[in-house]
Chains A and B, each alone.
Chain A
Amino acid sequence: MTATAPAPAPASASGQVSLRRILPPVVTGQELVLLGVLVVLWVLLGIFTPAFLTPGSIGPLLVQVAPIALIGVGMTFVIITAGIDVSVAATIMVSAVVTARVLVAADVPAVLAVLLAIAIGALLGTVNGVLIAYGRVHPIIITFGTANLFQWLGLRVFDSSTVNGIPGTLDFFGRGAAGSTLGVPHSFAIAVVAVAVAWWFLRYAKAGRNLYAIGGNQNAARLAGIKVQPRLVWVYGITGALAGLAACMIIATGTSSLDQSVGSGKELQVIAAVVIGGTSILGGRGSVVGTMLGALLVQTVVSGVTQLGWPTQLGFLFVGICILIAVGTDLIRERARRRA
Chain B
Amino acid sequence: MTDTAHRPAAAGPPRLEMQGIAKRYGGVRAIRHADITVRPGTVHALVGENGAGKSTLIKILSGAEQADEGTIAIDGSPVSIGATTDAIALGVQTVYQEPQLFPELTVAENFFVGREITRGPAIDWRAQAPRMLELLDTVGLDRGLASQPLGSLSIAKQQQVSIAKALLEQASILILDEPSAILTDAEIEVLFGVVRRLAADGVSIIYISHRLDELFRIADEVTIMRDGETVSSQPIGELTVREIAERMVGGAISEGHHEDREHGEPVLELESLSLDGAFEDVTLTLRAGEVVGLYGLVGSGAAEVGEVVYGMRRATSGRLRAVGDDRHPASPSAAKRRGIRMVPANRASQGSFSFQPIAFNITVGSLGLLGKAPGWVSPRAERRISDDLIRRLAVKTPSGRQPIGAMSGGNAQKVVLARQIVEQPKLLVLAEPTQGVDVGAKEEIHRIVADLAERGTAVLVITTDLAEVQRIADRILVFRAGRVARELPPTASQASLLAAAAGAIDDEPTPMPGTTEEAA
Contact = CB atoms under 8 A, between A and B. Distances in A.
A172 interface: no
A20 B147 CA distance: 8
A226 B114 contact: yes
Nearest to A286: B104
B151 A337 contact: yes
6 A-B pairs closest in CB distance: A224-B114, A225-B114, A284-B104, A220-B100, A216-B102, A11-B130
B129 interface: yes
Interface string B118-132: 100111011011101
A136 interface: no
A50 interface: no
B380 interface: no
Nearest to B129: A17
Contacts of A25: 147
A205 B122 contact: yes
B170 to A, nearest CB: 16
A207 interface: yes
A210 B129 contact: no
Contacts of B105: 209, 212-213, 216
Query: Which residue among A20, A212, A280 has the maximum number of chain B CB atoms within 10 Å of its CB?
Result: A212
B221 interface: no
B121 A205 contact: yes
Query: Which residue among A23, A216, A219, A223 has the maximum number of chain B CB atoms within 10 Å of its CB?
Result: A216
A137 interface: no
A206 B129 contact: no
Given A17-B129, A22-B129, A22-B147, A213 B113 contact: yes
Query: Which residue among B100, B108, B109, B123 has the maximum number of chain A CB atoms within 10 Å of its CB?
Result: B123
Contacts of A280: 104
B314 to A, nearest CB: 14
Interface in B119-167: 121-123, 125-126, 128-130, 132-134, 143-144, 146-147, 149, 151-152
Given A221-B102, A284-B103, A226 B113 contact: yes
A5 interface: no
A192 B104 CA distance: 26
B101 A206 contact: no
B93 to A, nearest CB: 13
A216 B268 CA distance: 43
Interface in B163-203: none
Contact of A224 (B113, B143, B151): B113
A20 B104 CA distance: 17
Nearest to A16: B129
B114 A22 contact: no
Contacts of A8: 130
A23 B113 contact: no
Contacts of A216: 102-105
A217 B102 contact: yes
A174 B101 CA distance: 47
B152 A337 contact: yes
A14 B130 contact: yes
Contact of A23 (B116, B134, B147): B147
Given A205-B123, A221-B114, A225-B115, A15 B130 contact: yes
B311 to A, nearest CB: 19
B113 A15 contact: no
Interface string A222-240: 0111100000000000000
A10 interface: yes
Contacts of A205: 121-123
Contacts of B128: 22
Contacts of B149: 24
B487 to A, nearest CB: 34
- Counting chain B residues whose Cβ lies within 8 A of the other chain, the interface size class is 20 to 34
A285 B104 contact: yes
Contact of B116 (A11, A206, A220, A337): A206
Interface string A1-35: 00000001011001101011111110000000000
Given A204-B123, A205-B122, A206-B122, A223 B100 contact: yes
- Counting chain A residues whose Cβ lies within 8 A of the other chain, the interface size class is 35 or more
A215 interface: yes
A255 to B, nearest CB: 42
Contacts of A207: 121
A220 B101 contact: yes
A337 B115 CA distance: 27
A17 B108 CA distance: 13
Given A210-B113, A221-B113, 15 more contacts: A14-B130, A15-B126, A21-B144, A22-B125, A22-B132, A205-B122, A212-B104, A212-B105, A213-B102, A220-B102, A223-B100, A224-B113, A284-B102, A337-B151, A337-B152
A263 B147 CA distance: 41
B491 interface: no
Query: Which residue among B106, B118, B133, B152 has the maximum number of chain A CB atoms within 10 Å of its CB?
Result: B133
A201 B123 CA distance: 10
B114 A210 contact: yes
Nearest to A226: B114
B175 to A, nearest CB: 15
A19 B152 CA distance: 20
A293 to B, nearest CB: 20
Contact of A19 (B115, B116, B125): B125
B414 to A, nearest CB: 30
Contacts of A10: 130, 134
Contacts of A21: 143-144, 146-147
Nearest to B128: A22
Contacts of A215: 104
A8 B130 CA distance: 10
A171 to B, nearest CB: 34
Contact of B106 (A17, A24, A201, A210): A24
Interface in A193-215: 201, 204-207, 209-210, 212-213, 215
Query: Which residue among B102, B118, B122, B125 has the maximum number of chain A CB atoms within 10 Å of its CB?
Result: B102
A213 B109 CA distance: 9
A14 B133 contact: yes
Query: Which residue among A20, A25, A221 has the maximum number of chain B CB atoms within 10 Å of its CB?
Result: A221
21 contacts: A10-B134, A11-B130, A14-B129, A21-B143, A21-B147, A22-B106, A22-B129, A22-B132, A24-B106, A206-B123, A209-B116, A212-B102, A213-B105, A213-B113, A213-B114, A216-B104, A217-B100, A221-B102, A280-B104, A284-B102, A284-B103
A20 to B, nearest CB: 8
Contact of A206 (B118, B132, B133): B118
Interface in A265-291: 280, 284-285
A316 B115 CA distance: 46
